[in-house]
Amino acid sequence: KYSVFVAFAPHFKALARVAYFKIVSKDESNAKRMLYELYRFMMWFFILLYNIQHLIRVIQVRHSTEQLVDTLFILLTTLNCLGKQVAFNARSGRIHKIIETIQESTFAPTKPYHLDLLKKNAVSMSQILSFYQCGCLTCAALWTIFPFINRTRGREVTFTGYLPFDTSVTSTFYLALAYMSVLITIQAFGHVTMDCTIVAFYAQAKVQIKMLRYNLEHFMDADEENIRIDTQITGTNYEQNTHKVNTNDIIIMTQKRLTNHVDHYEKIASFVKEVESIFSEAMIVQFFAMAWVICMTVYKIASLSILSVEFISMAMYLGCMLGQLFIYCYFGTELKVESEFICQSVYCGDWLSLSPSFRRKLLVFMTYCSKPLALRTAYIIPMCLDTYIAVLKSSYSLFTFLNRN
Amino acid sequence: MMTKVKAQGLVTDLMPNIKLMQAAGHFLFNYHSDNSGMSMLLRKVYSSVHAVLIVVNYVCMAINMAQYSDEVNELTANTITVLFFAHSVIKLLFFALNSKSFYRTLAIWNQSNSHPLFTESDARYHQLALTKMRRLLYCICGVTVLSVASWVTLTFFGESVRFIANKETNETMTEPAPRLPLKAWYPFNTMSGTMYIAAFALQIYWLLFSMAIANLLDVMFCSWLIFACEQLQHLKAIMKPLMELSASLDTYRPNTAELFRASSTEKSEKVPDPVDLDIRGIYSTQQDFGITLRGAGGKLQTFGQPTPNNPNGLTQKQEMLARSAIKYWVERHKHVVRLVASIGDTYGTALLFHMLISTITLTLLAYQATKIDGVNVYAFSTLGYLTYTLGQVFHFCIFGNRLIEESSSVMEAAYSCQWYDGSEEAKTFVQIVCQQCQKAMSISGAKFFTVSLDLFASVLGAVVTYFMVLIQLK
């Protein structure tokens, strides 16, 4: 029996590994749980320490723009990550509830086409996760290597966090470098995994809508086929319907199907709303952090020459930020576009064979489905590709404007 | 894959376009009357030779751009030219990689349903679509030839020089360059002599074929949209007689046998059912139908001997006719919806690439336009590039916009007929059609943008704004 949760398994496994979020399973020994709680406490402690160190340094260097900008880059990113981490931990009950919703029977596949869709979705989600994880590990590795190279070249290296001891001595330098890079790697990894998890929720909603659309387009299809597939997937015994059908049976069957579809859509819509509300504050933090970082990066890049090492690292950082925004906007658009076609799927089903009174029921459903499931950040900014293009356009205009000056 | 497809439906209508595309070197190997192995091989060789020549010359132009990248003006001009012809290379590659999708879209209209009452209207709008498609094709072909001719003519005016930056004094010098339509690096000396004439001939051929490649694919896309729009016009036109016909259908008796139909094995190519019974055999003249299509509704009623199952006194045949007419309308509309979805899937990504490159080109052109200082070759070439690029964007935006307008005006046609006289079946039919038509059918560029005149307006606005800002900053 195929579980819909398979698409999320790698994400939650990775999250558990860095102690960001763990799905509570009943059959775990007390000792293991205590150990894991200790691990989580230590992780929280170090991450908060890291952020406080950077905050102190920001206050320290507030008069020197260069160093301020350098520190703010890191601080804003880690604050962004912290926002999402707080959402995951403070609302873990609600997240557990939506995981349970995913595993309910309404979302389960009932036809071979559904199985196909779910498997493809699981594959693409794990591919996106691995891609982003590799990307972030590469960036973190480069971030570690740059100070090392600069140090061997004899240039002075200042850390972006406040450290109470002097880092010019070799041993303390390497200690500080190790500490900083390990923490930033963990935070980057956790950040990327959390992003991919949130996106996986939206992608799952989109796949469910695709399944609903397929059901609606085959609304009046023969029942025997469905029965056969049901027995295949669920493995239960099912009394075959007799081939003799009378009008009453048809009415009951179509009514049951309509009820199922209405219920399915209702569950999908509430699922999307719930995910949106769980992460709404984290998205607001992300939006502001991203806007600020993009402005600062563009300001910095405009004054650098092309092909210097700093330019490349700045450009890479900007690329990472834009890549992060891209998956949100892309899957937000996919969800919206897919939900706009539900009404069309009802139309493409065989409603002509139905009585006028049943058509009116379908009409109520069509009217409700004509409102698309559009995601929003902070209630005003839609999470779609138009927003992404607007962000790209504004940063390019800013860059051109600063370059000319 | 190289199956011999009988020319029908969209393929017949678009045959001149298809033939021109095959002549221009697209990798279009279907729709030939002769499918022997030898001629297929010859055609593949022909397309490959064209592809190689086009790509090689394009690379030569790119090498020239890299060579003379020191001076800003020279670099900008060369970048604009390279981006301008990137469309052709991309479209050639896009078609070669996606030809299956194109064949599928062309085959969607191979079998369409028909109804004896509406064949005349169907034929009329089909003919209209055909006329418009041909006219578009001739227009674009004319524009292409004119552009190539004016490009070649412009080559002979002005000085044929290129700008070099003098490294010591940091000022711009001019250096004589071969008088060719395009600046490209060739391994042989093209300043004069036979090599010059050969290079000139090659470039004329290259200009014509690369512009034809890009434009013909756009024409095919727009022809599909014209066809879809004319089908929607046909559906709007038959709505009124349809409502009059079904005005008297009042009872609904479910057709049990029809309610259960095994799902079709193929998902996409659902063949629409023809009319249930051969109505043409039953009715021979208009009078037999018992209606006047232009009169008020309700003419189907025959008073005097009401049949027990039918309170409105319709005979079995009349009821069947009315119901089959509605079925024809709905199946035809669903067919158009499938066609538009297929068009969007096929061409959406190409439109995305087109808009991406056009945006960058127009930005650079706005910068170039600020340097126009008189009526000279520079002004003409810059304005020529600008008009051509904006014209390409306008070309598909206007047809995309027409599709959006047509598909949402079906609702107005449904409202303007006398739906209040209709039967319950007819009224619910109007309701469901209105609900469906609230979402207009549109083509999207891989979900990044919708192809409509709004897109063109935003592009034009951005160019003008950028131009104004740069003028002020100068």
**Whether B332 contacts B231, CB under 8 Å:** yes
CB proximity under 8 Å: A 349-368 to B: 350-353, 355-356, 359-360, 362-363, 366-367
3-class secondary structure, B352: helix
Picking from A242, A295, A254, the residue whose alpha carbon sits closest to that of residue A401 is: A295
Which helix (H) or strand (E) covers residue A200, if one does?
A: helix A170-217
ipTM over 0.90: no
Residue type at position A24: V
Residue type at position B199: A
3-class secondary structure, B170: coil
A356 and B439 within 8 Å at the Cβ level: the answer is no
B425 contact residues in A (CB cutoff 8 A): 356
pTM of the model: 0.86
A385 shares contact with chain B (CB less than 8 Å): yes
Q: What residues contact residue B64 under an 8 Å CB cut-off, 6+ apart?
A: B78, B183, B184, B185
* Residue A130 CB coordination number (10 Å): 13
B interface with A, Cβ–Cβ below 8 Å: 252, 254-256, 258-263, 326-327, 330, 334, 337, 424-425, 427-429, 431-432, 435-436, 438-439, 444, 447-449, 473
Query: Which phi and psi (to 5°) does residue A102 adopt?
Result: -60, -35
A363 contact residues in B (CB cutoff 8 A): 428, 431-432, 435
Taking CA atoms, what residue in B is nearest to A247?
B256
Sign of CA dihedral B378, B384, B390, B393: negative
Q: Among A337, A348, A389, whose Cβ lies nearest the Cβ of B337? A: A348
3-class secondary structure, B159: coil
A352 and B326 within 8 Å at the Cβ level: the answer is yes
**Whether A15 contacts A99, CB under 8 Å:** no
Secondary structure (DSSP) of A275-300: HHHHTHHHHHHHHHHHHHHHHHHHHH
Strand B172-176 to B161-165 pairing: antiparallel
- How would you class A235 by CB atoms within 10 Å of its CB: exposed for 0-12, middle for 13-18, buried for 19 or more? exposed
Taking CA atoms, what residue in A is nearest to B263?
A221
Structure tokens at B461: 């606005």
Picking from A318, A287, A98, the residue whose alpha carbon sits closest to that of residue A200 is: A98
Triad A257, A261, A267: Cα angle to 5°: 145
**Whether B159 contacts B153, CB under 8 Å:** no
pLDDT at residue B250 in the model: 53
Taking CA atoms, what residue in B is nearest to A337?
B447
Query: Which phi and psi (to 5°) does residue A230 adopt?
Result: -60, -45
Taking CA atoms, what residue in A is nearest to B260?
A222
pLDDT at residue A146 in the model: 80
B444 contact residues in A (CB cutoff 8 A): 337
Which helix (H) or strand (E) covers residue B165, if one does?
A: strand B161-165
Q: What residues contact residue B331 under an 8 Å CB cut-off, 6+ apart?
A: B113, B272, B273
First to last CA, chain B: 58
Q: Among A225, A344, A363, whose Cβ lies nearest the Cβ of B439? A: A344
First to last CA, chain A: 64
Triad A223, A228, A233: Cα angle to 5°: 125
Q: How far is B276 from chain A (nearest CA, A)?
A: 13
Structure tokens at B469: 């800002």
CB proximity under 8 Å: A 188-227 to B: 218, 220-223, 225
Q: Among B255, B263, B447, whose Cβ lies nearest the Cβ of A385? A: B447
Triad B143, B148, B151: Cα angle to 5°: 120
Q: How far is B449 from chain A (nearest CA, A)?
A: 7
Picking from A160, A165, A157, the residue whose alpha carbon sits closest to that of residue A58 is: A160
Q: How far apart are CA A313 and CA A299, in angstroms?
A: 14
pLDDT at residue B314 in the model: 58
Secondary structure (DSSP) of B393-440: HHHHHHHHHHHHHHHHHHHHHHHHS-GGGS-HHHHHHHHHHHHHHTS-
B447 and A356 within 8 Å at the Cβ level: the answer is no
Q: How far is B391 from chain A (nearest CA, A)?
A: 23
Structure tokens at A170: 């070799």
Q: How far apart are CA A159 and CA A176, in angstroms?
A: 8
3-class secondary structure, B176: strand
Q: How much of chain A is helix, strand and coil, in % rounded to 5?
A: 80, 0, 20
Q: How far is B386 from chain A (nearest CA, A)?
A: 21
pLDDT tens for chain B, residues 1 to 474 = 444 445 678 999 999 999 999 999 999 988 888 778 898 999 999 999 999 999 999 999 999 999 888 888 889 999 999 999 999 999 999 999 999 999 999 999 998 999 988 999 999 999 999 999 999 999 999 999 999 999 999 998 877 778 887 777 777 788 888 888 898 888 888 788 888 999 999 999 999 999 999 999 999 999 999 999 999 999 999 999 888 887 755 545 455 455 445 444 434 444 444 544 444 444 444 444 444 333 333 334 333 444 445 545 557 777 788 889 999 999 999 999 999 999 999 999 999 999 999 999 999 999 999 998 888 889 999 999 999 999 999 999 999 999 999 999 999 999 998 888 878 888 899 999 999 999 999 999 999 999 999 999 999 999 999 899 888 887
Residue type at position B431: Q
Q: Scanning the structure block, which residue is given the tokens 């199907």?
A: A257
Structure tokens at A216: 């609606």
Structure tokens at B53: 């020549």
B447 contact residues in A (CB cutoff 8 A): 333-334, 337, 385
Q: What residues contact residue B404 under an 8 Å CB cut-off, 6+ apart?
A: B440, B441, B442, B450, B452
Q: How far apart are CA B34 and CA B16, in angstroms?
A: 17
Picking from B63, B385, B381, B338, the residue whose alpha carbon sits closest to that of residue B211 is: B385
A389 shares contact with chain B (CB less than 8 Å): yes
pLDDT tens for chain A, residues 1 to 405 = 788 999 999 999 999 988 888 887 767 788 888 888 899 999 999 999 999 999 998 888 888 887 888 888 889 989 999 999 999 999 999 999 999 999 999 999 989 999 999 999 999 999 999 999 998 898 888 888 888 877 787 777 777 777 777 767 778 888 888 888 899 999 999 999 999 999 999 999 999 999 999 999 998 887 655 544 444 444 443 333 434 455 677 888 889 999 999 999 999 999 999 999 999 999 999 988 988 888 888 888 877 766 677 777 778 888 888 999 999 999 999 999 999 999 999 999 989 988 889 999 999 999 999 999 999 998 899 999 999 999 988 888 888 777 776
Which helix (H) or strand (E) covers residue B164, if one does?
A: strand B161-165
Which of B69, B249, B252, B259 would best serve as a mutation to test chain A binding (most A beta carbons within 10 A)?
B259
Q: How far apart are CA B70 and CA B167, in angstroms?
A: 9
pLDDT at residue A131 in the model: 94
CB–CB contacts below 8 A, A to B: 82
Residue type at position B366: A
- How would you class A272 by CB atoms within 10 Å of its CB: exposed for 0-12, middle for 13-18, buried for 19 or more? buried
Which helix (H) or strand (E) covers residue B154, if one does?
A: helix B119-155
B439 contact residues in A (CB cutoff 8 A): 340, 343-344, 370
Q: What is the pLDDT of residues B438-469, one digit of tens each?
A: 999 999 999 999 999 999 999 999 999 989 98
